[in-house]
Homo-oligomer: A and B are copies of this chain.
Amino acid sequence: MELYDVINRRRDTRREFTGARIADDVLERLLSAAHCAPSVGMSQPWDFVLVRSPETLSAFASHVAEERDAFAATLEGERAETFGRIKIEGIREAGLGIVVGYDPTRGGPHVLGRHAIADAGLYSAVCAIQNLWLAATAEGIGVGWVSFYREEYLRSLVGMPAHVRPVAWLCVGPVDGLPDVPDLERFGWRHRSPLASVVHEEAYVPRLD
């Protein structure tokens, strides 16, 4: 699939999982794409924990439901109503969760390019996620990035040591198809902004909105 088609087709998926198991060779290609991402000082500081155990999926889904309620409690009126219609995860339906971790101890004692910006390693882990997500889109596989969780909970759930930071839970699995319009736009939560509103020439110019 052509790159620009993939970039435009990519969606954050919650509703469309079929429940079928992703083929091993496809999963291997997604993980290889992630592992091929750029990383600061070539530290490759990511980990991927593949979770399929129904008990672990259910435990995480319950935790996410609590965090959903916590966020919902901060909303009022139209925002509360709109949020009520939005599905935020497909943890059990996808059947596979990929927990992405960031390990700052990778890359030796001197990571080239990280001395001035500690978060540069974290950025690398996110680049890996985006590679995986695009590869999934090209393979017809859905990905839903869930961020309604507490990092300590997820770290403990999958046994990550204290120095590894959980960066994402990705619901990954075959889908019926991908929607043309992002869910949050379809349900009236937010709309996409024009490109011109985020581009500046030579120096930052505040937006008027």
Interface residues, chain A, with chain B CB atoms under 8 Å away: 1-4, 6-8, 10, 12, 28-29, 31-33, 35-38, 40-44, 46-53, 56, 67, 70-71, 74-75, 79, 83, 86, 88, 101, 107-108, 110, 112-117, 119-120, 122-123, 126-127, 129-131, 133-135, 138, 145, 147-151, 158-161, 164, 167-168, 182, 184-185, 189-193, 195, 198-204, 206
Contacts and interface: CB of A to CB of B under 8 A. Distances in A.
A204 B160 contact: yes
B115 A3 contact: no
A153 to B, nearest CB: 9
A12 B38 contact: yes
* This chain: copies in complex: 2
Nearest to A82: B112
Nearest to A50: B201
Contact of A116 (B4, B31, B149, B167): B149
Given A147-B113, A147-B117, A101 B204 contact: yes
Given A189-B112, A204-B101, A199 B164 contact: no
A83 B112 contact: yes
A202 B50 CA distance: 5
A156 to B, nearest CB: 10
A181 to B, nearest CB: 11
5 contacts: A4-B33, A48-B199, A116-B149, A120-B147, A122-B122
Given A42-B184, A135-B7, A108 B190 contact: yes
